[in-house]
Amino acid sequence: MPRPLPRRPVAIDAVAVTLGDGRTVTVGDWLASAYTDGFIVLHRGAIVHEQYANGQGPGTPHLMFSVTKSVTGTLMLMLMEEGLVDAARPVTAYVPELEGTAFADATVQQVMDMTNSIAYDETYDDPESDIATFLTAMYPGAEGLYTHLRSLQARAPAFEHGEAFHYVTPDPEVLGWIIRRATGMTLAEVLYTLLWSKLGTEFEANYWVDPLGIEMAGGGLSMALRDAARFGQLILDDGHANGAQVLSPAVAARIRSHRNQPQFNRFYDDPWYGEVAAAYHDQWWSYRGVDAVVALGIHGQFIYVNSEHNVVIVKQSSDPDAENERVDSETPRVMHAIARFLAGGG
């Protein structure tokens, strides 16, 4: 049964935000310029702002890209707590088909944290990159995700498993494989059973599947805006939703924690790693300078959970660029500013 979210409207359009280049913009003007399809803000569990554009509506499923990774990570943490998966065991204990690949000898937790060693280029605008090859495995008539994962054999030359964070989409696909193997269910069935059927969601969530019907665990999930906000609120509310304990408080607190900071910026020579983002673990990002974590997807998809100010924000977008200053650096500034404004009584 859908659970209506309470409403307590607050005008946020005029909230001022100072961007990294020194410009000051209002939230309303920035959202209008940032390819925003849907934007919702919850403060203390109530909707204070909700808007749609570009043909998007309350019931429209929006592809969330790598926000999917954080959902997959959350499901895996639930299975770990139930004892169905041991984080310290190698992934090959669950998927022996990965023996002889780059994932061999990596633990489930290392894959969860993306600290497993793998040679992989995730450059989205390069048709010759590894991620481009990965996506072709999803096309009709292609080899499918499992065959592609078994083809990845090279380790990163400078790091061993556990030494450095390296963001690669195949990692959550390995987690999806383990989830299916450990439960005997499809990923969609696990999502529905553990989360979607219990959150009071209004609409179905959908997965992009490969030619063999295998769900894309690292970027293929679509969902409606308010349902994405419900998921974020679950994390903020210590796993409590719709009058029940859906997720354990320990798992919710773990997601909201900042972990693995020593490994976070060893691989990347990019100031964004450390100046904007602070860490990555369990398929979730955390931001620097504020007690907030985020599920983050290319082209401007966000589920932002701010424990410091009791705020959840979801942005669904159709930015023409997978990554850019607007998506990766301006958006968190806008979300931080909204959270501070609401905490101050706005």
The pLDDT score that the predictor gives to residue 262 is 87
* Non-local CB neighbours of 88 within 8 Å, separated by 6+ positions: 107, 108, 109
Give catalytic status of residue 66 as yes or no. Answer: yes
Instruction: Please state whether 35 falls in left (phi above 0), alpha (psi between -120 and 50) or beta.
Output: left
pLDDT digits (tens, 9 = 90+) for 50-60: 999 999 999 99
The pLDDT score that the predictor gives to residue 23 is 95
Tell whether the model's pLDDT for residue 1 goes beyond 80: no
Mean pLDDT of 243-254: 97
Place of tokens 């707590």: 81
The pLDDT score that the predictor gives to residue 269 is 87
The pLDDT score that the predictor gives to residue 169 is 98
Q: How confident is the model at residue 264 (pLDDT cuts 50, 70, 90)?
A: very high
The pLDDT score that the predictor gives to residue 12 is 98
pLDDT digits (tens, 9 = 90+) for 309-326: 999 999 999 999 999 999
Cα separations in angstroms, 344 against 42, 72, 165, 272, 339: 15, 34, 36, 28, 9
% of the chain residues with pLDDT over 90? 95
The pLDDT score that the predictor gives to residue 244 is 96
Predicted structure pTM score: 0.97
The pLDDT score that the predictor gives to residue 274 is 86
The pLDDT score that the predictor gives to residue 184 is 98
% of the chain residues with pLDDT over 70? 100
> What is the rounded average pLDDT for all residues in the chain?
96
Instruction: Quote the Cα angle for 221-227-232, to 5°.
Output: 90
pLDDT digits (tens, 9 = 90+) for 266-285: 999 899 998 999 999 999 99
**Assigned token pair, 186:** 């499809």
The pLDDT score that the predictor gives to residue 276 is 96
The pLDDT score that the predictor gives to residue 97 is 98
Please report the domains of the chain, with CATH numbers, ordered by start residue.
16-68+185-343 (3.40.710.10), 76-178 (1.20.58.710)
The pLDDT score that the predictor gives to residue 275 is 92
The pLDDT score that the predictor gives to residue 78 is 98
- Determine which one of 33, 66, 117, 257 is catalytic: 66
pLDDT digits (tens, 9 = 90+) for 155-165: 999 999 999 99
Q: How confident is the model at residue 237 (pLDDT cuts 50, 70, 90)?
A: very high
The pLDDT score that the predictor gives to residue 345 is 73
Q: How confident is the model at residue 261 (pLDDT cuts 50, 70, 90)?
A: confident
Mean pLDDT of 241-246: 96
